[in-house]
Structure 1
Amino acid sequence: MMVPAALLMLGALTAVLAPRLLARAQWPEREPVVALWVWQCVVGAVLLCLGLSMLLSAAAAWQAVRGRLFAAAPRGVVDAYALGASGGPWAAGTALALAGGALWTAALLAREVLRTRAGRRAQSAELRERAPLLPGEDPTGARLVVLEGRRPESWWLPGAAPQLVVTTAALGRLKGSQLDAVLAHEQGHAAARHDWLLHCSRALAGGFPQVPVFAAFEAEMHRLVELAADDVASRRYGRLTIALALVGLNEDRGVFGPCSHPQAHVQQRVRRLLAAAPRLSATRRLRLTALATLVPAVPLLVAFVPGLSALA
């Protein structure tokens, strides 16, 4: 039973230490896409630790599970894990607790998906009512939908026929290529499927609010996906253009005042765009990506080392 316990300890350490280490790092502001990948690998490693520990604990508690899990393995591999020697109530309780967590996570993800789909259907119905298709317009094609509105707003509605929605007030604020930059920003979200990252992070943080890595994962996903989409737009239309578009869309909301505001991240995004900090070198980006990819390999190594040692 040493391996399941080691996996649990590894998962707990990763869940506590990884958010602190990433919070101290300065490079995610400059490379949000790499930072998104690092966070996904960290969370994946934590979930992998828990999943592998659940399987091995169940194998230690119940002979039927052990027989299925090690059906194709030689006898020496099973003996190397010493599962039968110290199973009992501790192994069964651990397996059941982790299985309950897995079912709870799956239920939360399903609820998030269903809620999102319902919201999209409601938004689509409202758009069809307020901005019906014109004669000859392709209903499956991407659309730029203009709605009458006094507040400058724009948002991307994902789906089979993605749509960029802007209000007439926004059109009055956005000058030159700023509307194209906003469109490129929202297309960056759609191309990278940022909505799925947000759904997963929201479900994990909502289901396990006391786990630091999941709470930090949700907060960082909301921030980093916006930075990544800003970079997509700025590479096509320039940093100043997308910065001015952000100012135009948000200047009436108190975002840029001295007081704190729920959307204060917009001010930080504008400052980042205007600062134009250089990107990391290609070598460093590759090194960070490779190191992040190795993080989920650590629990796999811990789980498989006894079996591989027995085969050697």
Structure 2
Amino acid sequence: MNVAAWMLLYAATLTWLGPPVLGRITGSGGSPRLGVTVWLTTIIGALSGWIAALGLMIDHVIANLADESPLTFCLDAVGFTGGVDMTRQVGSIATTVLACAGVLVTAIAIRRVWSGIRRLRHHSHEHARAARVVGVSTDQPDVVIVDSSQPAAYCVAGRPQTIIVTTAALQRLERPQLDAVLTHERAHLTGHHHQILMILRSLARGIPRLPLFGASASAVARLLEMCADDAAVRRHGSHPLLCGMVTLVAGPSQPAGALGAADVAVLARASRLVSPAGPVDQCCERLILVTAIALTIATPFIAGLLCHH
């Protein structure tokens, strides 16, 4: 088995076996930033493995096309030499079909994902623009007040980025709670969480049959909310944020592309704020996550070294 075969196996393992393992080691949210890094590293690894394998196969076929059967090169590229005896004509047709299929599937997937990103980005920018048109500006340039009987506070990526707070939320939230909620929303904006989720959601919709992408969109959204929670807690403490979340949780669901303090995994996040993990548990989780990142990055290089010996 050579490098291309290892890359295919590596990508398939991450795609199908990665989600349950990652869900288990990142589920508690003890280290949400590292948890997000683990998911993103796995996604990049799976995509890189597939592209590398496809590129190696195409390069191998082109480099040796003049000397032997194209199908022989294709099979040799994935490590199965001498296993098939076919005529040159049939081999040429089969190789052409396989190569074209791989390139076509990849091109279609890229087009669908890119289209999804553009659509989500356009919707988010339009929502931010509309909120600034109908809302009332405040002394904080990124905050807009919108008249509504439902308490809500959320942020959307736009030009400029906007935090939207309803009048009902202003009436119900005390000042420390409002400050904590606003800090939570600003953490989303400064951390570029919208852009990360746009890519992941577009991958999930553009390549729906691969479990890694569907699982990553929901898991990373949950972890990013915890990252924003931690930013608010560091500045205002857990109690104001927790009370603000409880106040806003009865509000309407946020529009697509928005991130709100009381929109995702509220019970899990509230439990985490009430009973945070101890130092020993956090240290153990970080060690596990760092190890997972290191293994994901190192595996293809180790496979490449083994295949060349």
TM-score range for the pair, normalised by the shorter chain length: 0.7 to 0.9
Distance (whole Å) between structure 2 residues aligned to residue 46 and residue 30 of structure 1: 25
Question: Is residue 63 from structure 1 mapped to residue 67 from structure 2 by the alignment?
Answer: no
Distance 1:158 1:253 in 2: 19
Counterparts of residues 28-177 of structure 1 (less than 5 Å): 28-63=28-63, 92-131=96-135, 142-177=141-176
Q: Which amino acid in the other structure matches residue 133 of structure 2? A: E
Deviation at 1:22, TM superposition (A): 2.1
Quick check: 1:184 aligned with 2:183? yes
Give the TM-score normalised by the residue count of structure 2.
0.78
- 2:73 maps to none
Instruction: Output one character per residue of 1:250-306: Cα deviation in whole Å (capped at 9) or x when no partner.
Output: 13669xxxxxxxx67222222221122235555862663354044133224434654
Q: How does 1:173-252 map to 2 (within 5 A)?
A: 173-251=172-250
- Equivalent residue, structure 2, for 1:20: 20
Bigger shift: residues 19-28 or 198-207: 19-28
Q: Percent identity?
A: 26
Q: Residue 9 of structure 2 corresponds to which residue in structure 1?
A: 9
Per-residue Cα deviation, 1:40-59 (whole angstroms, up to 9, x for no partner):
11111111110110011101
- Residue identity opposite 2:115 in structure 1: R
RMSD over aligned CA atoms reads: 3.3
Q: What is the one-letter code of the residue matched to 1:39?
A: W
On the 8 A contact 1:147/1:167 being kept in 2, the answer is yes
- C-alpha separation between the residues in 2 aligned to 1:65 and 1:147? 65
Per-residue CA deviations over 1:21-71 (Å, capped at 9, x if unaligned) read 1233366421111110001111111111101100111012223899xxxxx
Q: Is the 8 A contact 1:28 1:34 kept in 2?
A: no
Distance 1:65 1:114, change over 3 A: farther
Question: 1:51/1:182 Cα in 2 relative to 1: closer, same or farther (>3 Å)?
Answer: same
Q: Identify if the C-alpha distance between structure 1 residues 266 and 90 changes in structure 2 by more than 3 Å, giving closer, same or farther.
A: farther
5+ long unaligned stretches in structure 1:
67-79, 255-262
CA change 1:20–1:281 in 2 (3 A) is closer
Q: TM-score, normalised by structure 1?
A: 0.78
SS of structure 2 residue aligned to 1:100: helix
Q: Residues 285-300 of structure 1 correspond to what in structure 2 (within 5 A)?
A: 285=286, 288-289=289-290, 291-300=292-301
* Unaligned runs of at least 5 residues, structure 2: 67-75, 83-90, 254-262
How many residues were matched structurally?
Answer: 283
Q: Secondary structure of 1:145's partner?
A: strand
Give me the whole-angstrom Cα distance separating, in 1, the residues matched to 2:226 and 2:164.
Answer: 20
